[in-house]
Chain A
Amino acid sequence: MSRTEPLLEVRNLTKHFPITEGIFNREVGRVRAVDGISFTVDPGETVGLVGESGCGKSTAAETILRLEEPTDGEVLFDGQDLTAFDDTELKAFRREAQMIFQNPDSSFDPRMTVGESIAEPLRIHGVGPRERRQTIARDLLERVGLAADDADRYPHELSGGQKQRVALARALVVNPRLIVADEPVSALDVSVQADVITLLREVQAAFDLSILFISHDMSVVREVCDRVAVMYLGEIVELADTETLFEEPQHPYTRALLRSIPTLDPGERGIDASLTGEVPNPSNPPAGCNFHTRCPEVIQPAELDLDQSTYRGIVDLRVTARRHGIDVESLRDLVGVDPDASLTDEQAAEMRAALRAEHDVPETVDDPEAESVLSSALDEIVRGETAAGVERLAETFASPCESTDPGLRDTGVGHPAACLQFDDAETAVDREESELTAD
């Protein structure tokens, strides 16, 4: 990247949606859709925001364009903080930044011709007269690979790919410098997708555009973007040049995401489904690193050295206990104990085994001390003393990831990731050592 001034600079952008209750709209909680993200987009650059549903990528895009008011943070466009813009300044900004959406159907008025739709932003921004606007629209249609005469057609006469071309023409009509594209090819067939991606590239070069590209599709992102920010639960967990991200992913979430993508080589079968569970509710994100509830590489406390999958299973059990509680009733049901009867030792053992099986914890854990704590805690849980059992588990098995929010930090390979594996000081030392050996 050339060291020019970024066109767009997002600083600690935050968007929380309040959850309200009652006639006074008392705030009872907030959905932390975007929770303090920072990144830049240079002139002519394409930056991807990727993540699974609910990670906040679309809200981030809308907040950057001030379609949603940010809760906190700054968005600098060409050096100006647009969170402080008044209506006039905002209107001027909206000529410079345009958005295109996943579903082109919902972004057109079915009663307007294609030409009228494209020319509408010009009308809003006071470019006239009508003939002049139509000439611009017809010209743009040709530049996005359609015919000038398509200006007289209606949206329903066009295919999905053609509509997305028209949407692009409409975005370009005001000569923007930034395009925010939210899943622009996700609804399209693969051959049409290739068409639109090719077009986007051509247009970007011809108009010298910056693009913020929102997508859940890692393959599309790899094809389109210069740099990529990976989002999880409202935060950026890794930010890198596209090829580096795909070749040397540093954050466990990025790694898991990449491993779960099927490949085109039947000889390389076996996608990794090790990312268990689902994205937690952003109204109640986990403390510490918000990925720890699913992370395959969750860090063990210094005293422990368990098999990682065993440790993951124990963390899963604790996460379940914390989030939903353990359903002791069903466990009793499972081994056939009457609701009020007390447990025999055999029944308790059976219930403990069922709990272990449920969370893929082996029947015995290699480390005898850990095993003794685990088995006492499980015994307390199945006998109804859940709180005591959970507490006991926490004393021995709590991960540093549960309490420390890592934040983006240096990984030692040149780009940041938000993971405690990269202890800031330690990485610096490691790097020094490797430089010494390299010499």
Chain B
Amino acid sequence: MSGTEPLLSVESLTTHFHTEEGTVRAVDGVDFDVYRGETVAIVGESGSGKTVTSESVTKIIDIPPGEIVDGSVTFDGRELTGLSDEELQEIRGDRISHVFQNPQNGLNPVYRVGRQIGEVLRIHEDGISDAEVRRRVVDLLDRTGIPEASSRVDDYPHEFSGGMKQRVLIAMALARDPDLLIADEPTTALDVTIQAQILRLLEELQADFDMSVIFVTHDLAVVSEIADRVVVMYAGKVMERGRVEEVFEAPAHPYTRSLIACLPGRGSAMRRIEGSLPEATDPPEGCRFHPRCEYATDGCASGDQPPLYHVGGDGNRQSPAPVGGDADHTAACVYYGPAHDVSTLEDGGDRQ
């Protein structure tokens, strides 16, 4: 992590969707920072709000029915939430760009890939020559590991496999040398050997382009592979935040622990989580996880989600972490706050 000021600072972000079934509080007061050059993973299950969080940064959510109700998104010192669509257009694809899960949907089937990547350059660079566009597009395809880039540039999307399409989309996202790449499940639709190639590639490109990355995923193992820090979300709330080493070696929030324990194929007994994922329009009061938490007390069932408390024995446990706080390991669970004994979690937490 270089620099003391975060590149991106998300504070109290609250995004609602107004639907026929009622208001979905998709993102419900989310805080996290992204520093220059680091990878922050947002991990969660369906309905956790991880995708909406990442799409609220540049407001690519549909508004309406979506609405950013509260909070701020500061990017390189500039507040983004109040910007007009034109102003955001200049930032999107230029300083912040996105890569999505399904490479099939990201490319227009009737245009050659070179033209589609070139489009990004033409939008942001007035008067750029055709020769220059072509030279840079070939260079981008080459850097994203597409063999024989100079001839592939004239191919149509259907002539590329799924993994190669994702490389093309990454090339497109990197065309303007962005400061921040937001990748939403970029490897989920790919086979595991292709996933390995793309994760490796992203790692190399991040260093080459000196970018920060927000990596949105449901897959904890991918997080452990690529992230510097992780934000664990559940039902629109941040449950836990910290460096990956800390969070994977000593997961603090009962939800994070349960999520790791229910992963298959780790050699030890897989444990299911009692209950089911909350309804989007009617999440539980109090700690969003309390109906499924084996340590929940009566107090967990009312009020709002507990604040993010510091985890770990630094004597700092009694005070909530500052909003939009630093890289310290924090968890939104009362057991890390005042008047609770955190050892209660240790007693049963490792039960097989």
Contacts and interface: CB of A to CB of B under 8 A. Distances in A.
B264 interface: yes
Contact of A271 (B147, B191, B225, B260): B225
B150 interface: yes
The bracket for how many chain B residues form the interface is 35 or more
Contacts of B323: none
B192 A218 contact: yes
Interface in A245-273: 256-257, 260-267, 269, 271-273
B224 A197 contact: no
Given A191-B45, A191-B258, A271-B225, A260 B196 contact: yes
B276 interface: yes
A367 to B, nearest CB: 26
Contacts of B259: 190-191
Nearest to B150: A330
A358 interface: yes
A219 B265 contact: yes
B244 interface: yes
A287 to B, nearest CB: 22
Given A191-B273, A194-B273, A265-B248, A260 B192 contact: yes
Nearest to A279: B191
Given A190-B259, A191-B258, A193-B264, A262 B273 contact: no
A52 B191 contact: yes
* A interface: dominant SS: helix
B224 A327 contact: no
B148 A327 contact: yes
B38 to A, nearest CB: 14
A197 B264 contact: yes
Interface stretch (A32-40, A99-107, A221-229): A221-229
Central interface residue in B46, B150, B265, by most chain A CB within 10 Å: B265
Central interface residue in A223, A256, A276, A329, by most chain B CB within 10 Å: A223
B199 interface: yes
B351 interface: no
Given A192-B45, A264-B248, 15 more contacts: A159-B277, A161-B276, A189-B277, A191-B273, A194-B270, A197-B270, A219-B266, A222-B264, A222-B267, A265-B248, A269-B224, A269-B225, A271-B200, A273-B199, A358-B148
Interface of B: 45-46, 147-148, 150-151, 161, 163-164, 191-197, 199-200, 218-222, 224-225, 244-245, 248-249, 258-260, 262-267, 270-273, 276-277
21 contacts: A52-B192, A191-B259, A191-B277, A197-B270, A217-B264, A219-B221, A223-B265, A260-B192, A262-B199, A262-B222, A264-B263, A271-B199, A271-B200, A271-B225, A273-B196, A273-B199, A275-B193, A278-B161, A329-B151, A330-B151, A333-B150
